[in-house]
Structure 1
Amino acid sequence: MGEKAEVVANVVAAGPLFLDVVQFGLEHAPRPGEEQWVAGGAVMAGGVANQAIACARLGLNVDVVTNVGADRAGRWVAEVLAEEGVGLAGSTRGGTQSVTVAQVLDGDRAFTTYGDGAYPDLPAGLADAAPGFVVASVDYLARNLECLKQLRGAGTVVVADTAWDPTGRWDRADLDPLAQADIFVPNAAEALAYTRAGNVREAARRLLELVPTVVVTCGGDGVVIASRPTCVLTRDHALGGPAGASAGGPGALVIELPAIDVEAKDTTGAGDSFTAGLVRALARGAKLLEAVVLGQVVAGWTVQRLGGSAAAPTRADLREWAGSGQLRWALPTDTAGPGEPSLGREPEFTGRFGPYLRIYVDEVEIVPQKSARLGAGPTDWPTIPDPAAVAAAYAGD
């Protein structure tokens, strides 16, 4: 493997790199000895490229730390990344390119993969380059704890995700490396499995024992955000409880957001797109609530299309969607009880507290009339951002 270049990007994404061959429109699962012509297909860069390309299309300067095959397939993947504006500083080259074949049937995918998926540790001296963000999986954090400690000391924000545990153990000790992360972005199934919690809100709250901020993606059920009292989310408003409150304890804040109104065709890459949107907004200094909404918008665009990294939106795509009149929150069914606001009518999503932005402090749902108990007046309540306005704000050059 060759020498690594100096990393100068403001976002560094680390992970295995694949050449993805994706086939759509299968009539049924493949049978031995059968050739089946399908409705469509695509070849693209995959793995860490999904996150990196999504970041680059939103205007971020991004490098990947990975290994690129020294064969023809690897050269092609490197060309795709270069065309998308993704740098390879910090990466190595050698061996054969890992390849994944994905077949899409009934909205789900089956995979066959060749290669070892190996990729290098974070390059020495990365803290001197002071990237704004490092995005990586929890298991990768475990390999780079000392480097991450230096990076965070230099001001880098570490965003971690995880993956399905094929062993079924879901050992919470595997999440210990989150001690060197700032934000953890699991999906609902992962959060529930690791915490053994009865609901996503409680799972997010338990994860605060490990990491300052948790953002759990819940697909069509929206997003759950949890934050310790002294973290970035609680600087947005006065609902964080007393300063110095314990992790996951007194003052722990949880907010539930609805989903974006979309018809999902393929959820592959949605998590990568969500993280890209989250990082893009935070890189511009946005509050966490706005950053999460941008993540939802970017993921919402992605799931309406087929094709991994190829489905990540550009800023022009965001501009078009924002102006279409079709980018909005999904409306829940009317489940209001006696004396509660009706959920069956169009809410004023950009107004103050409404039935679609639910706020909990220490597992107690708080309503505006009770906010004085926490020393917060009505003007301290966070607004639920209009997704079209958020998309438009990040659609510029």
Structure 2
Amino acid sequence: MHTGRTRIRRRRRTGKTWESAVTTHDGDKLTAGYHLLDPLADVRRPGDADCDVYLTGTVFLDIIFTGLDSAPVRGTESWARGMGSSPGGVANMATALARLGLRTSLAAAFGDDHYGDYCRDALDHGEGIDLSLSRTIPGWHSPVTVSMAYEGERTMVSHGHEAPPPEEPAPSSPPPARAAVASLVPGRGQEWVAEAARRGSTVFADVGWDDTGRWDPADLAELEHCEAFLPNAEEAMRYTRTDCPRAAARALADLVPLAVVTLGSEGAYAVDGRTGETAEVPAISVEALDPTGPGTCSSPVSSPARSPGGRSPTGWPSPG
């Protein structure tokens, strides 16, 4: 006999309608139905872009081990008490946006292996994310990340190869969208970012670890077209040569109108580069099983708040 209540959400796109399916298992009774979820319903107008947020970047298959008491010791075998898998990388942001009820479009490369099939199916059929601008590459091995969570942090090992260029050049113009999320790569230009900003999309930027060790903001040329930059504390301090994430946020606010630095278990700190106003929010109080990807999901939280019709993140509680 089932005594709990499980809600499993499935979202699908039907024409210009984005629906959420909810299956509820309550006792021995199973029910299913679709409901509309649209947090921007009050601000939509005829002729608005069909897409709320456009993203592009690398999708990884994330394999996550939790319940480790310590880091693995060289020459030994460690058993984890928990394990999970899901699409990762830019898919973390896309999934969070879709679950907020926003119409989300993702342009990414998928391998034609089992990993790629799983990620594509989970994002398309499981989350209702529009993948019409994505492509499947024959013979390309999907990127994989193994994340081990222990002592309140995570350590990741990744493997992957750069996706080969498409046979036909990709369009430089992204689709019309209220907002766009760019995963910046140091030293690698992305022409679509400037075009998206020119066409009226509010652009939010995230960045990964700089393997070159340069940590030079000049390598992130697209920032000049971005409304907000959302690095984690370590990335922010390295780019600004500071030893305090709040000082790093203030320095980054000289480069973008809004700098948001994620602080892990301490929450996030934001600085409005136009007014100098600051805001800080604590992290949501939960039992942390796996710290993989929470900072990445702060971009989707900021996107609807900063896009037209939303409220400014400086409306967060506890302003400085």
The TM-score bracket by the shorter chain reads 0.7 to 0.9
- 2:181 alignment partner in structure 1: 135
SS of match in other structure, 1:271:
coil
Structure-2 change in CA distance of 1:120 and 1:55 (3 Å) = farther
* Partner in structure 2 of residue 272 of structure 1: 296
Q: Matched residues in 1 for 2:144 and 2:208: separation? A: 19
Which of 221, 232, 239 aligns to 1:194? It is: 239
Correspondence 1:223 to 2:260: no
State the partner residue of 2:319.
Answer: 357
Identity of aligned residues (%): 33
Change beyond 3 A, Cα 1:72–1:163: closer
Find 1:124's aligned residue among 165, 171, 175. 171
Residue 184 of structure 2 contacts residue 220 of structure 2 at CA under 8 Å; is this kept in 1?
yes
Q: CA deviation at 1:71?
A: 1.4
- Asked if the contact 2:206/2:296 (under 8 Å) is kept, the reply is no
Paired residue secondary structure (2:86): strand
* Matched position secondary structure for 2:185: helix
The one-letter code matched in structure 2 to 1:137 is: S
Distance, in Å, in 2 between the alignment partners of 1:88 and 1:213 is 29
The residue type paired with residue 113 of structure 1 is S
- The structure whose Rg is larger is 1
Which residues of structure 2 form unaligned runs of 5+? 1-48
Report if aligned partners of 2:181, 2:204 keep a CA contact under 8 Å in 1: yes
Task: Note the alpha carbon deviations across 1:139-180, whole angstroms, 9 max, x for none.
Answer: 2794223x3222212111110012233443322322332112
Q: TM-score, normalised by structure 2?
A: 0.73
Aligned to 1:315: none
Report if aligned partners of 1:17, 1:47 keep a CA contact under 8 Å in 2: yes
* Correspondence for 2:190 among 144, 147, 157: 144
1:276 counterpart SS class? helix
1:225 shift after superposition = 2.2
1:211: which partner in 2?
A: 256
CA distance in 1, matches of 2:130, 2:114: 19
Q: Could you say what secondary structure the match of 2:295 adopts?
A: helix
Cα 1:223/1:22, change in 2 over 3 Å: closer
Identify the structure with the greater helix proportion.
1
| Counterpart in the other structure of 1:66 | 108
Distance in 2 separating the partners of 1:169 and 1:125? 28
Q: Which residue of 1 is the match for residue 277 of structure 2?
A: 254
> Which residue identity lines up with residue 149 of structure 1 in the other structure?
A
What CA deviation, in whole Å up to 9, does each residue of 1:27-56 have, x standing for no partner? Answer: 444456655443111121111111111111
- 1:84 correspondence with 2:127: yes
Whole-angstrom distance in 1 between the partners of 2:180 and 2:165: 14
3-state DSSP class of the match of 2:277? strand
Partner of 1:182: 227
1:26 equivalent in structure 2 = 68
Q: Is the alpha carbon distance of 1:194 and 1:108 closer, same or farther for their aligned partners in structure 2, counting shifts above 3 Å?
A: same
Alignment of 1:96-175 (within 5 A): 96-118=141-163, 123-124=170-171, 126-127=173-174, 129-139=175-185, 142-145=188-191, 147-175=192-220
After TM superposition, the score normalised by the length of structure 1 is: 0.60
Greater strand fraction, Structure 1 or Structure 2: 2
C-alpha distance in 2, partners of 1:261/1:92? 36
Q: Counterpart in 2 of 1:93?
A: 136
Shift of 1:204: 2.5
Shift of 1:193: 1.7
Partner of 2:306: 282
